[in-house]
């Protein structure tokens, strides 16, 4: 049996890789190392490092995209601001599932939420010359900080776990009082911890955004996926919680990668509040021809990055949104298997001595969803990732997500299949035997 992997072979492959330390390695670097170890050993790994959807794409999207391609859209540049059908469906979607009103003009497709965030940093963080950049409510999605770095922007961050509920206000004020914050970014539900902000916390964020005049970038990559509540019924409460209820200073990033399993086509949306879209700030003129945020965003940022978004993918997204808006597709039901897998995986890991690091959502146990966090007694993240890889399981550290929990790692539930759970258990059993808890 090739698992556990020969330690000498593991060391050799690690030294040949671009990785200096497993605890600071990026998701893609860990993925590459696991690919190589899989090839060496001929053993399929339990892949927990990357948030690739483990479900097929929504068929409504695929069919509409093929149709659009057959009609010849591949030959035609799409409008930078997006095709009207799609803009209309995005505006309907946010009305039906968030209960907010946004003009279709202010709903813009992007090349994944990756581009959505980049566009926000390029514009919002340039509105005020005397401010430094984004305040990240961490733990978070590591590559967004990388985006700030490549733009030459500074950023601030803090681990929110000890500042939940009312405590969030004082912590946010600490940063906002510096006068250096232009935007606040968080994901909800949170990648990597799966904590979800309450209405009380969103109210605090929104109120402070108004008071300090900063812009909230709310990343809803896991839209509707807090399965403790049913956010799946169009036009009916409960609605996916959003800061948009509490402030007009918001941009929403809504990825289609996870809730429509459409990651491969790199299509997402940004939704800018009507008021913010028309906001004028002289600072923008340093980079763009217009001081109006909406114009700078479309004709400055989106134009210079990619001149819009794949034409055919826009029709795919329009069709998927329309199906959800019309109540023909229940996208929440579709992604529920992630929660079911999380439940089983957490049970297995804890059975073999692991602990859930971010184990509470305020006073309740953390929900089952796309991610969860783990540690193992007596190991830091570096050692834990190494031992897991040697035992055929890949994950990433929480350090790269801005977490204070140096012992923690993130596990993603998407790629493992239900029939692989016995293999996971078998490997964890060997892991526990090889690493007895003292």
Ligand X SMILES: Cc1ncc(COP(=O)(O)O)c(C=O)c1O
Toward ligand X, which CB reaches closer, 315 or 431?
A: 315
Please state the closest distance from residue 219 (CB atom) to ligand X, in A. Answer: 5
Q: Binder to ligand X among 119, 214, 221, 317 (CB under 6 A)? A: 221
Instruction: Tell me if 94 contacts ligand X by CB under 6 A.
Output: no
Instruction: Tell me if 189 contacts ligand X by CB under 6 A.
Output: no
Among 180, 253, 188, residue whose Cα is nearest residue 213:
180
Please state the closest distance from residue 60 (CB atom) to ligand X, in A. Answer: 18
The strand pairing partners of 409, in sequence order, are 374, 397
Toward ligand X, which CB reaches closer, 168 or 267?
A: 267
Q: Binder to ligand X among 193, 255, 414, 435 (CB under 6 A)? A: 255
Distance CA 352, CA 339 (A): 20
Instruction: Tell me if 268 contacts ligand X by CB under 6 A.
Output: yes
Please state the closest distance from residue 291 (CB atom) to ligand X, in A. Answer: 28
Toward ligand X, which CB reaches closer, 41 or 397?
A: 397
Distance CA 356, CA 351 (A): 11
Rg (CA), the chain: 22
Please state the closest distance from residue 312 (CB atom) to ligand X, in A. Answer: 17
Instruction: Tell me if 263 contacts ligand X by CB under 6 A.
Output: yes
Instruction: Tell me if 41 contacts ligand X by CB under 6 A.
Output: no
Q: Binder to ligand X among 147, 191, 193, 397 (CB under 6 A)? A: 191
Toward ligand X, which CB reaches closer, 54 or 392?
A: 54
Torsion from C-alpha of 166, 171, 176, 178, nearest 10 degrees: 150
Please state the closest distance from residue 51 (CB atom) to ligand X, in A. Answer: 4
Among 405, 313, 391, 310, residue whose Cα is nearest residue 349:
391
Q: Binder to ligand X among 19, 34, 51, 172 (CB under 6 A)? A: 51
Instruction: Tell me if 53 contacts ligand X by CB under 6 A.
Output: no
Long-range CB contact pairs, 130-133, < 8 A, 24+: 130/179, 130/180, 131/179, 131/180, 131/181, 131/182, 132/156, 132/180, 132/181, 132/182, 133/180, 133/181, 133/182, 133/183
Instruction: Tell me if 57 contacts ligand X by CB under 6 A.
Output: no
Toward ligand X, which CB reaches closer, 146 or 350?
A: 146
Distance CA 419, CA 337 (A): 13
Q: Are 417 and 44 in contact (CB under 8 A)?
A: no
Toward ligand X, which CB reaches closer, 121 or 128?
A: 121
Please state the closest distance from residue 317 (CB atom) to ligand X, in A. Answer: 11
Instruction: Tell me if 257 contacts ligand X by CB under 6 A.
Output: yes
CB-closest chain residue to ligand X: 112
Toward ligand X, which CB reaches closer, 187 or 249?
A: 187
List % helix, strand, coil for the chain (3-state, nearest 5): 45, 15, 40
Among 407, 346, 403, residue whose Cα is nearest residue 372:
346
Concatenate the DSSP letters of all residues of 379-427 into one string: --HHHHHHHHHHTTEE-EESGGGT-S-TT-EEEE-SS--GGGHHHHHHH
Q: Taking CB under 6 A as the rule, which mask of x and - marks residues 105-134 in contact with ligand X?
A: -------xxx--------------------
Q: Which residues bind ligand X (CB under 6 A)?
A: 51, 112-114, 141, 187, 191, 219, 221, 255, 257, 263, 268
């Amino acid at each position: 049996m090739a698992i556990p992997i020969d330690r000498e072979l593991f060391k050799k492959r690690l030294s040949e890789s671009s990785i200096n330390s497993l605890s600071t390695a990026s998701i893609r670097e860990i993925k590459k190392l696991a690919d190589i170890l899989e090839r060496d050993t001929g053993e399929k790994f339990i892949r927990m490092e990357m948030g690739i959807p483990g479900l097929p794409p929504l068929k409504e999207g695929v069919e509409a995209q093929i149709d659009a391609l057959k009609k010849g859209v591949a030959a035609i540049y799409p409008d930078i601001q997006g095709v009207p059908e799609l803009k209309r469906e995005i505006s309907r979607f946010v009305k039906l599932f968030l209960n907010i009103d946004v003009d279709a003009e202010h709903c813009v497709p992007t090349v994944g939420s990756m581009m959505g965030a980049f566009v926000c940093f390029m514009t919002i963080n340039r509105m005020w010359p005397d401010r430094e950049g984004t305040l990240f409510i961490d733990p978070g999605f590591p590559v967004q900080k990388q985006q700030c770095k490549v733009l030459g922007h500074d950023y601030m961050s803090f681990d929110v776990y000890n500042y939940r509920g009312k405590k969030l206000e004082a912590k946010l004020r600490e940063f906002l009082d510096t006068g250096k914050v232009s935007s606040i970014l968080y994901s909800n539900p949170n990648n990597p911890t799966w904590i979800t902000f309450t209405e009380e916390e969103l109210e605090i964020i929104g109120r402070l955004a108004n008071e300090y005049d900063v812009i909230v970038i709310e990343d809803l990559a896991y839209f509707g996926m807090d399965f403790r509540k049913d956010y799946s019924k169009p036009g009916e409460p409960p609605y996916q919680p959003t800061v948009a209820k509490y402030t007009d200073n918001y941009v929403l990033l809504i990825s289609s990668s996870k809730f429509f399993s459409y990651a491969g086509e790199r299509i997402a949306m940004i939704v800018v509040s009507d008021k913010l879209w028309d906001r004028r700030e002289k600072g923008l003129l340093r980079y763009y021809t217009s001081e109006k945020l909406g114009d700078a965003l479309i004709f400055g940022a989106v134009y210079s990055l990619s001149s819009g978004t794949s034409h055919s993918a826009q029709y795919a997204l329009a069709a998927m949104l329309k199906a959800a808006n019309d109540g023909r597709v229940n996208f929440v039901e579709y992604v529920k298997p992630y929660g079911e897998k999380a439940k089983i995986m957490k049970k297995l890991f804890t059975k073999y001595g692991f602990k859930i690091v971010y184990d509470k959502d305020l006073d309740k146990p953390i929900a089952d969803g796309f991610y969860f966090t783990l540690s193992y007694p007596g190991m830091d993240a570096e050692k834990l990732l190494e031992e897991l890889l040697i035992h055929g399981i890949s994950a990433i550290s929480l350090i790269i997500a801005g977490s204070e929990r140096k012992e923690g790692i993130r596990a993603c539930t998407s790629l493992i299949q239900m029939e692989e759970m016995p293999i996971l258990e078998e490997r964890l059993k060997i892991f526990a035997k090889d690493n007895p808890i003292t």
